Every structure is written in C-alpha cells, then in structure tokens.
A and B are shown apart, each in its own frame.
Chain A
C-alpha cells in the first residue's frame, strides 16, 4: 500500500471515529502529563547537587571535620602554608591568587540564604560571577545578590536588608551558575557584619590553568607540610554534598517517575486494547476482503501512534505550564533553588517509552486476535 493512501485512510478513519479518538487522546494526555511531571521532579533532584562545569580553577581549604562550610575555621597562616606547598611542588607561578572567604548560612525571611564575603577584587574576577544589573559593592554596607536569591525573596536593586543589626544595600544582581541563593559582600564588610577578625571559613587557592587541578589537590593533601586538620576540595565536590543530603528524596522522586512509567504503559495499552475490542468486526471484515494481518496491524499501529503523538504534544504543553506555575513555589533546600523543568532527555525518553508502550499494546492485542477464528470474529 502506498504511503499516501495509507495516510489518507488513517486520517479519514480518525475523523470518522472522532468522538472516540478525542476521548482516547484526552485520557492519554492526562496519563502522559503525570509521567512527564514525575520525571521532571526526578530530574530536579538528580541535578540538585551538581554544579555545571564552570572551568573554576579554585581549590578550597576547609577544616576536615566540617560538613557545612560554616563549621570550618581557619586563618591566614593555614592558607599561606597551603599556598607555600603548591609553590614548592609546582613552581612560583602555580598559584594565581590566594584569598579568604567568610561563609555563613543564614535564615532571612524564613528562607535559607548563604552569605559569602571575599576581597572585592576576587569578588569581581575570581568567583565566576557575572554582574547582570547594577554595580559591584563599593563599601562594607553594600552587597550583590544572585538572581535566585533576588527572585526568591522578591528583592530588587536599591532594597535594604536588615541582617544582624546591619542595614545592607543591594547594589547589584549577579549570576552564579550553581543556582544558589547567595548574598555576596566584601571581605571587610563580612568581618564587620559577623564581628570576626582573623578567622574565616574557606581558604581559596586559584591554581594556574596549565596545571591539573585534581593532581594539585592530591599532592597538597598528601604533603607533610600541609597543615593537619584541614582538607582540600574542588568546587564540584562541595556541591555534591548537597546531592548527598537529599539523596533519599531522589529515591522518592525516582519511585514516582517509575510509577508514572507503569501508568503510561497501562494507559496506552488500555487505549490500544479498547480500540481492538470495539473494532473486532471491522478488522475481521477487512481480513475477509483480502487485507493481510500485517497491513491491518500496521494500520492500527499508525492510528494508535498518531493519537499518542498528539496526546504527547498536548501533555508537553500542559507540563510546560505546570513548570511555569511552579516557578512561584521553587523548591529550596540549603539555599539551593531547584526549578522544575523538562529536559530534552526527559522529553525524548518519555516520547520513546510512550510510543513503545503504545506499539506493545497494539501488538499484544492484534496478536491475541489473530489466533481467533475469522468466522467467530465476524459473528461477535
């Protein structure tokens, strides 16, 4: 049969049977919506702790007992000792910059926010921050906030934040690829705000681009001159801890996605088998007048796949709307915002699974029917 003739009959049949086709598409859409939404949640948690590769050249020194950077405590002598080890092992140009960072996790308006204070020149150049709007802090009472933090709290440039009896002015909105709600300020501003003199939480060594960062990390940790009681981390390793903290939520999200997958298989199978139950006699007549089983199966497959495709596109649209709606209620754990979105992988996998289960439904039902006597089918 020519493809054009096949297509013509397919559309004509769907139009003739439009009432039932619409019913099938609507119920399939609702099932696929559940699947896509569940997969999107699963994606949120899988991506939660992973930081995009930013090309960061930072090695972070922290107390070895600290799970949260806020628990860490070091001073300049430790940081300098670490820098000296790298200089000794990899040469005088191996370290581009050495600077301290004060880190706090704070509750502001009932939400968890991170506050990071680093020297101004490192804030502007050293931390993969992009100024999207406004200006960098000029004084100790000025801060810039990541766009996630601004959005979450409904802040805008020019607003003032009351933190620990200090009135801080937001001068800029910055982008940080990790998607964390962070208030950035100058190091001296942080010292004043938290009333600290020598101590800080994270020591940052910016390593020259010609060196392999993991090699420097291992060498540093194993060197006998590296101070005891401290550990060295890559940026990515610290962010992975967030994934660890919510690891069981990933499990829960995965269960929901797996469940939705079962639903999608049953849902499409249901649609296919119903069509078969309804059209037993039609199919038997087609077989009687000479249509081969394969042609009929192909026709039914095409019909089911077309319905499923339309339902999938509709469901995609509905979930996109849900994702936009969910922006109003972002999921925030430990200052990191997770936003519901549909990744291309989820969409493609969803489409593939939907089509496969629809095909399976058609195959199973047509296979069962082909074993039946033609006369019996005609009589039903």
Chain B
C-alpha cells in the first residue's frame, strides 16, 4: 500500500502541493487528475525519489521513504516502475538496449542475457519486430509500448504512468488503457495513472483523486465523480470551458 501524508512542495516562491494526503490500495488502478500545473506529475515523482517533499511523509509497504538517499531508493525503484509522459527512451540506444538497461543495472544481468530478456518483453507488448530500431524511427504509440516494456522489466509491484495516453490517437490510447487494466487484472500490479483523458478515467479507474490548487478536492470511485455536486469537479470531469474552476 502507498500512503501520501500531508505532502508539501514548493518551487521557489510557488507552492505546488499544499498538504496532499491519500492512500492507494494494492491491485487497484488509481487515477490522479486535475488541471495542468496542479502538481500531479510532481506528486508521483516524490514516490520514486526523483523529487523530495519539503514536508510530509510517503509510506510504501510500511516503510517511510521520503528521506531515502539515491542508493536507498534503488529497491523502491525496482518495486515502483515509471512510464514517463513522453516515453523518454534513450535516443542513442535501440529499443532492445533501452529495455535491457534496467536489467543490467538493477538485476546485474550481462549484456547478452539482458538483451534476450528485453526481446521477450518487447514481444509481450507486440514490439519484437522493432527491437533493433531506434526510438526516433518509431511513432508515439510504439515508443509508449517500448516504455511500458521497459517498466515491466523488473516485475514491479507498482507502475506509475505519467499521462500515458497524451499525444496518442484514440485507438492507441484505448490499447494503452487496455494494457494498464490487463496488468492489474492478470499480474496484480497496482497502477497509479496521472491523466487528463476522461475516457480513460471513466473506463479503467477503480478510484480517482482530483487535485485542485495543491490540495485534494475529491477522492472516490468513478461513480462518486459522476454523481458529485461539487461544481469544480463537475466542470473538470465534463470538460466544460465555463464554470467555477480558477485555472
């Protein structure tokens, strides 16, 4: 289980997170939603130590991890993989080398073993035939699938998805949604998804938290969000240009 407790974070004079607290249960597909710049990506980067909170605690499976140093974070990053917004594959490496890197660094496999395992994982996301291609030669949807294969290399318990369907066409977006749901159903992986994609949110989410002005506005199931009377939440989840939201 993951617990964020009273997380505060500022960048210079701008306070992005103003005391965010919620729990994520094992095995669920948990969405973090909110307007651009509200601190959704910032929040999930705290979980894997890419950012440190100014205040507050982060608990992962009974361990407080917010004060961990870089090396203490390595086991946390094995447990929590992350798929970044723009896939962030390494330009200078082929797809199979990209997927093999965490296997070489985390699992200490040699190059040949890592590449063999990488090809198996690429096959899992239907990218085996592009294994030797470089990221620049692939489309957005294909890069995203390679990034997901890379995230799966270490058999993570948790996967963090930062806007996984942004910049994808609707078909590829629904394929990615299906993959996220499938990971939860078949492997028991807990997924935390940062997204604006309303279709994804109401199709695959088990629970949703909405951040607004650096605080939790509403936490609940998709039905809670559909039936809420909160004007701010209604405006966001219905994609209305006019309403009480101050953005």
Task: State whether these chains interact.
Answer: no
